[in-house]
């Protein structure tokens, strides 16, 4: 393995050496010490020497930094294969059309971003022409995480190669008509082009790391060999401020993900101003990535700087570059040669003399235009070094100018991220700079024209030939023709129908037991991807360790402390479980990679990610939105759910709101099952819909969120009768009546309908008994498996009515004819059951656990929130009293009797 922290010899060649013979003597001395006393002694002496240098004030880069120069010097750069002039013309067309598209759209006020792609054009074009493998390449091709604000440039290139037309470009950010282009990479909106949504900044780099890791997982498990696939993540230097951007750097180096390259466009600007005004973001990122074990390639200066470095015989230029803060570099890009001579070169006598040898044009060329990220040769060298480096991931730090080629009004201006258009005169200046054959007469009524050299032009033929050689168009998303997975044996699901008898079983345990059976299925078992954030034992999953193994690319290089136990901690190179440590964000990134493998790799995988429900949607809801954008499929399982079920855990662990957050995600099907057979029925239907034969009108690109509980209780048998499974899936069915429960109060007794979800149904059943035995009230009990799905169905019915179609919401159908008022109860805030209130014809009220959680016993917590059985009785009597079905005094009597 190559040491990613080792300074490559080519780096040193960039620096001036006034006495090569002395340098050779120092190197020989180091070699002699290493040979005579060993490498550890040599390392010790080097460390002490560096410490002494730092202590005496000698200006040295920090140990994790190199000088502010290119990692690969000009002399070591490989030649670029292909036709550089042709690629320049292609890039010029892309620059023009990206700017034209956003400018033309600005008259509608839809916005857009121009400056980001202008700075990154060569970073993309070099990759598209020489590196990025398409879907027809070996494995599954490469995975490209495109920087969100650069999307106009990607659309411009797709226009050039014929995948988009002018009508598409004119509908940038105007999607309602059905022929538009989404503002940013959105697979759900443009599923044939975009694979990965990236504009929620910080999620792209995190997802890219786990995608590269999941690629290794698929290969090591023998699912599919995707070792030829490479993951490229294009990021902004300002984006690296997001904590998610660097959250998994150590994972990438620890697992040696040399199938991963970050390309960070260091244009030194955020949305409002400089990224590191008084510091140097490139140096900061270099230290951060080197410290995490990554290979770092800096591509900072263009070829115009070669003359300056050759003149730097004292090292003064390198020292000055190291000390100038980023905001001043940005200022140099906007000032004249006289200012640069004084402010940059005037700080050191040696630089003053150097500047005398430089013309004003040369100075402006260097400081205004010449950046490593703007030259195909520099970028090609960096990319080639990245894909050839083995043993660690690579980050390329490419310096660019934000707004490059857009004119003086754009380049390096603080406001250029918000600037949405160029004037006609600015376009004409840009045309001349890019040498494009666009005539003044093409600007009709002041509207900037799109430019295209022709479908059979040398540029388009070259572009298409290069893509054909690399495996087809890119970026591209393809859903391979994958046959539906066969349904697992019915036995796995039916075993829950008979209930647990007298045995207490929590629904979390029921779910884990179901998974144990499903992963044994000969046809689909290997496709399950269990994901857990270091809480497997909490959820009773440790029994899966020895049978499935925990994935580790190194296998198990140690003897586990519990090896003599039946359920020992087993790691394996082909392990099936992804135990991610204490990282919900990392676990969600894993889930996203696995849930979209059907598209990315043509392999349907069935991920389930089980987590403390409090730490799922609350902590990583943005990634769950990303999951929906990316059309992911699978099961999210919020375990130890509810606000009152975690005895003693208290405020920070008591989830009373995750279904509310989940309800905001259109791709999430949210269920709160009460019983084991409901869990089995929902999972069975989810497998059918997502991986089997979806019914007409059903979208398979959804994911399921199930809340399960850690409270062991007897699991009843599945009620007999038609429509139970349909009710479970749709969200509501009658579990029993007062009569079927053996609770028959007096004839013509007042009647009420009690709806409960999740663990709350057990309090509802207790209340049903109390109402009958102590108050003469008949209560029917309904299990509300999904308040959210009931609401969505009702909303669809409302929309149908507006279209002139007659349709009754399912919740109204189910409750039709049910006598008495309706009282809904859950272990969540009342907002959860209240989702259906407006479609219930009966008098409706609800109980829930609103407010903050607290530490106490389950019973005390439920009494505190007013959701225990006695509180339900009082609420039921109050509803009946309002309707005149019971005496008003009954409510007061019940409160006093139960001490409420």
Q: Give yes or no for a contact between 779 and 660, defined as CB atoms under 8 angstroms apart.
A: no
* Residue-level pLDDT at 12: 47
- What's the rounded mean pLDDT across residues 232-256? 97
Evaluate whether 265 touches 373 at the Cβ level (below 8 Å): yes
The encoded tokens of residue 298 equal 């800096």
The CA distance from 871 to 644, in Å, is 14
pLDDT per residue over 634-644, tens digit each?
999 999 999 99
* Poorest-pLDDT segment among 1-5, 154-158, 442-446, 500-504: 1-5
Distance separating alpha carbons of residues 763 and 783, to the nearest angstrom: 12
pLDDT at 659 over 80: yes
CA dist., res. 377 & res. 380, Å (int): 5
In angstroms, the CA 481 to CA 838 distance is 43
> Could you report the per-residue pLDDT of 151-168, keeping only the tens digit for each?
999 999 999 999 999 999
Where residue 4 falls among pLDDT bands split at 50, 70, 90?
very low
Strands 528-532 and 578-579, bridge-based pairing: parallel
Quick one: pLDDT at residue 482?
Answer: 66
pLDDT bin (cut points 50, 70, 90) of residue 481 is low
Render pLDDT for 22-36 as a digit per residue (tens, 0 to 9). 989 988 999 999 899
Outline where 630-759 has alpha helix (H): 658-663, 676-691, 724-730
Peptide bond into 775 cis (omega under 30): no
pLDDT value of position 15: 66
Which of 129, 132, 130, 149 lies closest to 141 in space, CA to CA? Answer: 132
Percent of the chain topping pLDDT 70: 97
- DSSP structural state of residue 301: B
Per-residue pLDDT reduced to its tens digit, 758-798? 999 999 999 999 999 999 999 999 999 999 999 999 999 99
**Region 564-588 average pLDDT:** 94
Can you tell me the mean pLDDT for 667-684?
98
Q: What distances in angstroms separate CA 19 from CA 12, 73, 86, 313, 329, one per listed residue?
A: 13, 20, 43, 11, 31
Q: Which of 821, 825, 827 is nearest to 847 (CA)?
A: 825
Helices (H), 389-457: 424-434
pLDDT at 8 over 70: no
Radius of gyration of the chain (CA): 32
> Residue 72 has which token pair?
């690969």
Q: What is the pLDDT of residues 202-236, one digit of tens each?
A: 999 999 999 999 999 999 999 999 999 999 999 99
State the pLDDT at residue 13: 56
Residue 490 burial by Cβ neighbours in a 10 Å radius (0-12, 13-18, 19+): exposed
Which pLDDT band, with edges at 50, 70 and 90, does 386 fall under? Answer: very high
745: confidence class by pLDDT, cuts 50, 70, 90: confident
**Dihedral of alpha carbons 419, 423, 428, 429, sign:** negative
Instruction: Report the pLDDT value the prediction gives residue 113, as an integer from 0 to 100.
Output: 87
pLDDT-derived band at 612 (thresholds 50, 70, 90) equals very high
**Rounded Cα distance, 831 and 634, in Å:** 26
Cα 893 from Cα 899, distance rounded (Å): 10
Averaged pLDDT of the chain: 93
Spell out where 213-330 has E strands: 231-236, 260-266, 295-299
Instruction: State residue 61's pLDDT score.
Output: 67
Looking at the DSSP bridge assignments, the partners of residue 235 are: 264
Cα angle value 484/670/703 (rounded, 5°): 30
Taking the CB of residue 134, how many other CB atoms lie within 10 A of it? 20
User: Which has the closest alpha carbon to 260: 396, 116, 124?
Assistant: 396
Residue 1 confidence class, pLDDT cut points 50, 70, 90: very low
**Residue 692 near residue 730, CB atoms below 8 Å:** no
pTM of the predicted structure, to 2 decimals: 0.93
Separation of alpha carbons 808 and 633, rounded Å = 29
Q: Is the pLDDT of residue 63 over 80?
A: no
């Amino acid at each position: 393995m190559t040491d990613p922290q080792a300074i490559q010899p080519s780096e040193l060649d960039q620096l001036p050496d006034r006495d090569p013979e002395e340098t050779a003597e120092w190197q020989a001395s180091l070699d002699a010490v290493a040979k005579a006393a060993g490498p550890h002694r040599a390392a010790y002496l080097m460390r002490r020497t560096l410490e002494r240098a730092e202590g005496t004030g000698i200006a040295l880069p920090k140990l994790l930094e190199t000088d502010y120069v290119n990692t690969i010097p000009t002399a070591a750069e490989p030649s670029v294969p292909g036709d550089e002039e042709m690629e320049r013309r292609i890039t010029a067309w892309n620059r023009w059309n990206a700017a034209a598209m956003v400018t033309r759209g600005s008259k509608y006020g839809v916005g857009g971003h121009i400056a980001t792609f202008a700075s990154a054009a060569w970073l993309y074009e070099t990759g598209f022409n020489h590196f990025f493998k398409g879907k027809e390449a070996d494995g599954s091709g490469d995975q490209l995480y495109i920087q969100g604000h650069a999307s106009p440039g990607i659309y411009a290139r797709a226009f050039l190669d014929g995948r988009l037309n002018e009508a598409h470009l004119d509908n940038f950010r105007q999607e309602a008509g059905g022929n538009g282009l989404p503002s940013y990479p959105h697979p759900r909106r443009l599923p044939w082009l975009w694979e990965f949504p990236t504009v929620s900044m910080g999620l792209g780099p995190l997802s890219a790391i786990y995608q590269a890791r999941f690629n290794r997982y698929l290969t090591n498990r023998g699912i599919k060999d995707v070792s030829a696939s490479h993951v490229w993540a294009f990021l902004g230097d300002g984006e690296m401020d997001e904590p998610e951007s660097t959250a998994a750097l150590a994972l990438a180096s620890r697992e040696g993900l040399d199938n991963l390259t970050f390309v960070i466009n260091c244009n030194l600007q955020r949305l409002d101003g400089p990224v590191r005004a008084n510091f140097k973001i490139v140096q900061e990122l270099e230290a951060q990535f080197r410290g995490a074990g990554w290979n770092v390639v800096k591509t900072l200066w263009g070829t115009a700087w070669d003359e300056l470095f050759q003149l730097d015989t004292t090292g003064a230029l390198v020292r000055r570059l190291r000390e100038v803060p980023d905001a001043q570099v940005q200022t140099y890009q906007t000032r004249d040669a006289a200012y640069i001579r004084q402010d940059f070169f005037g700080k050191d006598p040696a630089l003053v003399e150097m500047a005398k040898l430089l013309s004003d044009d040369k100075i402006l060329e260097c400081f205004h235009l010449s950046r490593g990220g703007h030259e195909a040769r520099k970028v090609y060298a960096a990319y080639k070094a990245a894909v050839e480096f083995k043993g660690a991931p690579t980050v390329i730090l490419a310096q660019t100018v934000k707004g490059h080629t857009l004119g003086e009004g754009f380049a390096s201006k603080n406001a250029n991220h918000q600037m949405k258009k160029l004037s006609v005169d600015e376009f004409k200046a840009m045309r001349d700079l890019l040498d494009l054959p666009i005539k003044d007469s093409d600007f009709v009524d002041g509207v900037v024209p799109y430019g295209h050299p022709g479908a059979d032009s040398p540029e388009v033929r070259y572009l298409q030939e290069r893509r054909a050689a690399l495996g087809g168009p890119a970026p591209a998303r393809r859903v391979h023709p994958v046959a539906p997975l066969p349904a697992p044996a019915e036995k796995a699901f039916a075993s829950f129908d008979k209930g647990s008898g007298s045995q207490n079983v929590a629904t979390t345990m029921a779910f884990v037991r179901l998974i144990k059976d499903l992963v044994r299925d000969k046809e689909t078992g290997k496709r399950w991807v269990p994901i857990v954030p270091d809480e497997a034992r909490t959820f009773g999953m440790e029994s899966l360790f020895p049978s499935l193994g925990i994935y580790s690319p190194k296998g198990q290089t140690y003897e586990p402390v519990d090896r003599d136990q039946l359920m020992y901690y087993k790691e394996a190179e082909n392990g099936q479980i992804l135990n991610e440590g204490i990282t919900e964000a990392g676990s969600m990134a894993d889930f996203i990679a696995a849930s979209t493998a059907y598209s990315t790799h043509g392999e349907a995988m069935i991920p389930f990610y089980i987590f403390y429900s409090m730490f799922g949607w609350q902590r990583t809801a943005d990634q769950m939105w990303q999951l929906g954008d990316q059309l992911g499929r699978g099961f999210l399982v919020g375990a130890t759910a509810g606000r009152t079920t975690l005895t003693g855990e208290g405020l920070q662990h008591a989830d009373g709101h995750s279904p509310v957050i989940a309800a905001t995600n259109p791709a999430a099907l949210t269920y709160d099952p009460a019983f084991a057979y409901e869990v089995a029925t929902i999972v069975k239907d989810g497998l059918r819909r997502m991986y089997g034969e979806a019914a007409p009108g059903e979208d398979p690109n959804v994911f399921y969120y199930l809340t399960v509980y850690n409270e062991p209780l007897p699991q009843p048998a599945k009620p007999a009768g038609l429509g139970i499974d349909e009710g479970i899936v749709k969200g509501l069915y009658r579990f029993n009546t007062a009569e079927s429960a053996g609770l028959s109060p007096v004839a013509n007794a007042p009647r009420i309908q009690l709806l409960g979800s999740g663990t709350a149904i057990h309090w509802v059943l207790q209340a049903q008994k109390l109402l009958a035995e102590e108050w003469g009230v008949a209560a029917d009990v309904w299990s509300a498996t999904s308040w959210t799905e009931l609401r969505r169905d009702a909303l669809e019915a409302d929309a149908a009515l507006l279209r002139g179609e007659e349709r009754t919401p399912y919740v109204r159908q189910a409750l039709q004819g049910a006598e008495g008022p309706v009282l809904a109860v859950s272990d969540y805030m009342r907002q959860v059951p209240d989702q259906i209130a407006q479609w219930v014809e009966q008098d409706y009220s609800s109980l829930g656990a609103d407010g903050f959680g607290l530490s106490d016993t389950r019973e005390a917590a439920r009494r505190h929130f007013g959701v225990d059985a006695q509180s339900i009785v009082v609420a039921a009597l109050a509803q009946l009293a309002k309707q005149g079905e019971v005496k008003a005094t009954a409510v007061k009597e019940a409160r006093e009797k139960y001490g409420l």
